[in-house]
């Protein structure tokens, strides 16, 4: 049964539907503390229904839809997102508490991602090798089947589109579970997808709690492949769940990314970019450069400049075009972030700016700089996932590389140096999925994005992502007379 307009249903089999439990939950607006909307929360019966719809789509028309038509649909969805970008950006900004200027770039990135995979479909192809004699072999690519996708709250729209676009390009059908706090933008994307002609059942969106609804989706025997973005701890649990029955799996997990600042760098460029690299998205970013490693001779000067620039970051109403940093996702997350800062204080670090929870509504937290810090401190080892940067000195290049790699994560790193050879030398030695040299930005369609070590495995945003949603089938035969096999048959 369809639900009223002001409330958001689950999106299953091409329409908005009520959950089996009837549960509607308040969706908060973190910058105001008000309720933004009410959204249906799905449970096991809804996942069953969504997986069934996805399987029916694959067994039906979607399974026969050629790449050219899938490409046209992906472009049409990109067009629809562009046409509705204002509404989507505002929805996302209010639901996540994130500055609208950042969200606009995310919506544009989502569009580009659909366009990238619309074109990348042309690369999906098998091959045929000359094997010799009269043996004929060819391989063909087939969609892996029903993909179960789970995304977090920090970039609800962007992370969902990073997962949806390659899966749809490959010809899979999807059941996607957003975080219960941030289901709105991806529900809207699913509606737009239906409007532009994606058949019912190809895209199903079931918001719900992770340990129940999410885990059920991961274990569901009708799900062939799981793609998860979230914390390393949950990623480990998802990996365990994928072992029985065995599932294909990709994991995009946490980070504690270093930003290496050498004395020969262009500091006028490097220091503001380093401030951006942590405080964009209020530090609630997997690739946030949350450890600023600084050559010792510069340390005091850099701490002073970063502190000053951090004080100037415009924090406030996410919908104000001038705002650079909005609120955090929730008061409870803010309390967790603040706990790390208090912990650093207790370990002897100095908080040169920020580090206090103000009055007033909304889950705001100021840009915070932790100085006099060592890499073994908890604040340097654990993902804080908030607007907090830990500034750590290093002696020389070897020491910088040692410290950069001395965490369990390996998602992203940035190196600032005036010596191009040093930049490339360091890039080859850093254990992370992406290294930027004098360039703070990270994620563009076409550039593989993903982790080393406990930041996960598999790459998104790239051609190789398609392979994660495809099976390779080898077909072999003889075109001449078949030789006698060892059994003489």
Kindly list the residues in this chain that would bind ligand NAD in the complex (CB under 6 A): 150-155, 159, 177, 179, 210-211, 214-215, 218, 229-231, 234, 237-238, 252-255, 286, 383, 385, 411, 451, 455-456
242 is catalytic: no
Shortest Å distance, C-beta 389 to ligand NAD: 15
Nearer to ligand NAD, 149 or 310 (CB): 149
Closest approach of ligand NAD to the CB of residue 462, in Å: 12
456-457 and 248-252 strand pairing: antiparallel
Phi, psi of 181 (to 5 degrees): -80, -20
Work out the angle at residue 303's Cα, subtended by the Cα atoms of residues 437 and 402, and round it to the nearest 5 degrees: 50
Q: How far apart are CA 296 and CA 309, in angstroms?
A: 20
**8 A C-beta contact, residue 132 and residue 478:** no
Q: Which residue out of 29, 92, 112, 252 is catalytically annotated?
A: 252
CA pair distance 432, 412, nearest whole angstrom: 5
Long-range contacts of residues 102-107, Cβ cutoff 8 Å, at least 24 apart: 102/280, 102/281, 103/318, 106/155, 106/157, 106/158, 107/81, 107/157
If you count them, how many residues does the chain have? 489
Q: Residue 345 in 3-state DSSP? A: helix
Give min distance, CB of 353 to ligand NAD, in A.
Answer: 24
Q: What's the start-to-end Cα distance of the chain, in Å? A: 61
Q: Name which of 154 and 305 has its Cβ closer to ligand NAD.
A: 154
Neighbours of 291 (CB within 10 A): 26
Smallest distance, ligand NAD to C-beta of residue 184, A: 14
Return the number of the residue (107 or 303) whose C-beta is nearest ligand NAD.
107
Least distance CB 339 / ligand NAD (angstroms): 15
Task: Give the pairing of strands 248-252 and 173-177.
Answer: unpaired
**353 phi, psi to nearest 5 deg:** -160, 155
Of 29, 112, 191, 286, the catalytic one is: 286
SS3 185: helix
How many other CB atoms sit within 10 Å of the CB of residue 5?
7
User: Pick from 150, 31, 152, 156: which is nearest to 103 by CA?
Assistant: 156
Residue nearest to ligand NAD (CB): 210
Q: How far is the CB of 253 from ligand NAD (least distance, A)?
A: 5
Q: Are strands 24-29 and 135-143 parallel, antiparallel or unpaired?
A: unpaired
Give 444 or 478: the residue with its C-beta nearer to ligand NAD.
444
Tokens standing for residue 40: 């249906």
Active site annotation includes 252: yes
**Cα–Cα dist 13/10, whole Å:** 10
Task: Please identify, using beta-carbon distances, which residue of 353 and 414 lies nearer to ligand NAD.
Answer: 414
Residue 411: closest CA among 272, 251, 276: 251
Cβ closest to ligand NAD, residue 58 vs residue 238: 238
Strand 135-143 and strand 470-478: the pairing is antiparallel
Whole-number Å distance between alpha carbons of 287 and 439: 13
Task: Find the shortest distance in angstroms from Cβ 482 to ligand NAD.
Answer: 49
Residue matched to tokens 């998104």? 460
Residue closer to ligand NAD by CB (options 173, 238) is 238
Report in angstroms how near the CB of residue 172 gets to ligand NAD at its nearest. Answer: 19
Nearer to ligand NAD, 178 or 393 (CB): 178
Three-state SS at 51: helix
Residue 431 CB neighbour total at 10 angstroms = 17
Supply 407's token pair.
């965490």
CB of 238 to ligand NAD, least distance (A): 5
User: Where do we find the tokens 């010792």?
Assistant: 296
As given in the structure block, the two tokens for residue 233 are 């701890």
Q: Measured from the CB atom, is 237 or 320 closer to ligand NAD?
A: 237
Residues noted as catalytic: 252, 286
């Amino acid at each position: 049964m369809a639900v009223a307009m002001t409330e958001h249903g689950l999106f299953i089999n091409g329409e908005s539907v009520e959950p089996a439990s009837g549960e509607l939950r308040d969706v908060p607006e973190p910058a105001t503390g008000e309720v933004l909307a009410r959204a249906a929360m799905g449970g096991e019966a809804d996942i069953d229904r969504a997986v069934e719809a996805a399987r029916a789509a694959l067994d039906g028309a979607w399974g026969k839809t050629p790449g050219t038509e899938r490409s046209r649909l992906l472009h049409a969805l990109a067009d629809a997102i562009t046409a509705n970008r204002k509404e989507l950006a505002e929805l996302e900004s209010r639901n996540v508490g994130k500055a609208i200027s950042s969200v606009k770039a995310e919506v544009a990135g989502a569009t580009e991602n659909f366009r990238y995979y619309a074109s990348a479909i042309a690369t999906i192809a098998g091959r045929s090798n000359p094997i010799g004699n009269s043996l004929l072999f060819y391989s063909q690519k087939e969609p892996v089947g029903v993909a179960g996708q789970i995304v977090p709250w920090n970039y609800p729209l962007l992370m969902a589109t990073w997962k949806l676009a390659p899966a749809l390009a490959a010809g899979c059908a999807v059941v996607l579970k957003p975080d219960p706090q941030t289901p709105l933008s991806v529900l809207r994307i699913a509606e737009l997808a239906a409007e532009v002609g994606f058949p019912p059942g190809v895209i199903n969106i079931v918001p719900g709690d992770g340990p129940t609804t999410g885990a059920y989706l991961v274990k569901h025997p009708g799900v062939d492949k799981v793609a998860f973005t979230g914390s390393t701890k949950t990623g480990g649990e998802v990996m365990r769940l994928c072992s029985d029955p065995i599932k294909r799996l990709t994991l995009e997990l946490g980070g504690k990314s270093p930003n290496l600042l050498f004395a020969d760098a262009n500091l006028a460029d490097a220091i503001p970019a380093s401030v951006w690299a942590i405080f964009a998205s209020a530090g609630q970013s997997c690739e946030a450069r949350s450890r600023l490693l600084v050559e010792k001779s510069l340390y005091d000067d850099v701490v002073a400049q970063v502190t000053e620039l951090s004080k100037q970051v415009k924090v406030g109403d996410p919908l104000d075009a001038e705002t650079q940093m909005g609120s955090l996702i929730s008061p409870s997350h803010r309390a967790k972030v603040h706990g790390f800062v208090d912990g650093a204080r207790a370990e002897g670090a100095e908080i040169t700016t920020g580090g206090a929870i103000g009055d007033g509504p909304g889950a705001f937290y100021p840009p915070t700089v932790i100085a006099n810090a060592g890499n073994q401190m908890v604040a340097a080892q654990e993902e804080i996932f908030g607007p907090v940067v830990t500034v750590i000195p290093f002696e020389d290049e070897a020491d910088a590389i040692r410290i950069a790699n001395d965490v369990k994560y390996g998602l992203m790193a940035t190196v600032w140096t005036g010596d191009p050879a040093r930049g490339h030398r360091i890039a080859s030695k850093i254990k992370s999925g992406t290294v930027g040299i004098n360039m703070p930005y990270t994620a563009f369609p076409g550039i593989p994005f993903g982790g080393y070590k406990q930041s996960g495995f598999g790459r998104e945003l790239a051609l190789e992502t398609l392979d994660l949603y495809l099976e390779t089938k080898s077909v072999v035969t003889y075109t001449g007379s078949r030789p006698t096999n060892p059994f003489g048959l």
